[in-house]
Amino acid sequence: LLILGIETSCDETAVAIVKNGKEILANVVSSQIESHKRFGGVVPEIASRHHVEQITYVLEQAMEQAAVSWDEISAIAVTEGPGLVGALLVGVNAAKALAFAKHKPLIGVHHIAGHIYANRLQQEFQFPLLALIVSGGHTELVIMKAHGEYELIGETRDDAAGEAYDKVARMLDLPYPGGPGIDRLAGLGEETIEFPRAWLEEGSYDFSFSGLKSSVTNTIHNAKQRGETLKPEDIAASFQASVVDVLTTKTVRAAKHYNVKQVIVAGGVAANKGLRSSLQQEFANLKIPLQIPPLYLCTDNAAMIAAAGAIAFAQGKRSTLDLNARASMPLK
């Protein structure tokens, strides 16, 4: 069973071919980060244009890398949402054209389901599992009791974790995307500033990072007014300590409460060294298996879309040729 996956929800044009939902035969990612850097974030129009320019080339490369023929492809899976509509449309239309021309079933995939299924490219799932999704646009805790079934138990009420990283990075004049820069700086500094932790109501698995972001802004501003200079590495370390503390604590609490057999982490912020080591330590103590994908599977790619598509395909889920891009959609 070979699934061809396509991902264009943000600033990565990606095509992959995955065998039996688990084995990567090709995983081509063309990143546009350089084009968006000088704007400090993703510019939707530029993203769409890049996808249009890259998609055919990336597709050809993936087919070449996998060394398979179109006859062997079982279905086309594509990210239908959530994401930038103009960006998503490029992938959705490419997938529809291929499905029509090559007579293949079409499967619309939720981008976050893809981030979760990136983990299955490493190891089979054990249910019930808890997924912590931490990306540029999402911060969520999801319980899965079976393949393709998602129960959202907590989510951010304002900024996503990655978004907070990107915004704080801007305050520190670090290049976009800010996560890796802050992560690196944090490793050089110390937690000298006590930033707030948004625990929210007792028992809540929701998150909030906008207060933390404001607190960082105010701290930098106040120090400047007093003529003091704070070390950027200490700001980074203190900010990261707050984010990691909240993410780790809520994930641990949810894992215990739902008595899960496995915890998986997904999304670009899963690359964070502080978060990785904090989660590794906690779950090693609890003896609950923790899985964090390697970097190239944490950030946007199409192998994860093909992996999620393989399960949807096996469950008989199909999309029709009127499949449309969706800026927001519930996890399914």
Binding stretches for ligand ATP (CB under 6 A): 9-10, 83, 111, 115, 135-138, 162, 165-166, 177-180, 183, 267-269, 271-272, 299-300
Count Cα atoms within 13 angstroms, Cβ side, for 217.
10
Nearer to ligand ATP, 77 or 99 (CB): 77
Rounded distance, CA 147 to CA 130, Å? 12
Does 206 count as an annotated binding residue?
no
Q: Which helix (H) or strand (E) holds 14?
A: strand 12-19
Nearer to ligand ATP, 86 or 162 (CB): 162
What are the DSSP calls for 39-101, one per residue?
TTS--HHHHHHHHHHHHHHHHHHHHHHHT--GGGEEEEEEEEESS-HHHHHHHHHHHHHHHHH
CA dihedral 296, 247, 209, 81 (to 10 degrees): 40
Does 218 count as an annotated binding residue?
no
Does 183 count as an annotated binding residue?
yes
- 300 counts as binding Mg ion under rule CB under 5 A: yes
Does 136 count as an annotated binding residue?
yes
Nearer to ligand ATP, 26 or 243 (CB): 243
Nearer to ligand ATP, 136 or 309 (CB): 136
Which positions lie near Fe ion, rule CB under 5 A? 135, 300
| 105 touches 76 (CB < 8 A) | yes
* CA angle (35, 36, 40) in 5-degree steps: 145
Rounded distance, CA 324 to CA 232, Å? 44
Please choose which of ligand ATP, Fe ion, Mg ion, none residue 114 contacts, taking the beta carbon within 5 to 8 angstroms, the exact cut-off set by kind. none
Please choose which of Fe ion, Mg ion, ligand ATP, none residue 7 contacts, taking the beta carbon within 5 to 8 angstroms, the exact cut-off set by kind. none
Does 166 count as an annotated binding residue?
yes
Does 9 count as an annotated binding residue?
no
Q: Residue 11 Cβ, how far from Mg ion at the closest point, in Å?
A: 5
Q: Please give the residues from 3 up to 32 whose contact with Mg ion meets the rule CB under 5 A.
A: 10
Nearer to ligand ATP, 21 or 293 (CB): 293
- The rounded radius of gyration (Å) of the Cα atoms in the chain is 20
Q: Residue 169 Cβ, how far from ligand ATP at the closest point, in Å?
A: 7
Q: Please give the residues from 46 up to 75 whose contact with Mg ion meets the rule CB under 5 A.
A: none
What are the DSSP calls for 85-139, one per residue?
HHHHHHHHHHHHHHHHHHT--EEEEEHHHHHHHGGGGTS---SSEEEEEE-SS-E
Does 86 count as an annotated binding residue?
no
Does 257 count as an annotated binding residue?
no
Nearer to ligand ATP, 98 or 304 (CB): 304
* CA angle (296, 254, 252) in 5-degree steps: 65
3-class SS of residue 257: helix
The number of beta carbons lying within 10 Å of the beta carbon of residue 218 is 10
Residues that bind Mg ion (CB under 5 A): 10, 300
Binding-site residues for Fe cation: 111, 115, 300
Binding-site residues: 111, 115, 133-137, 166, 179, 183, 272, 300
Binding-site residues for substrate: 133-137, 166, 179, 183, 272
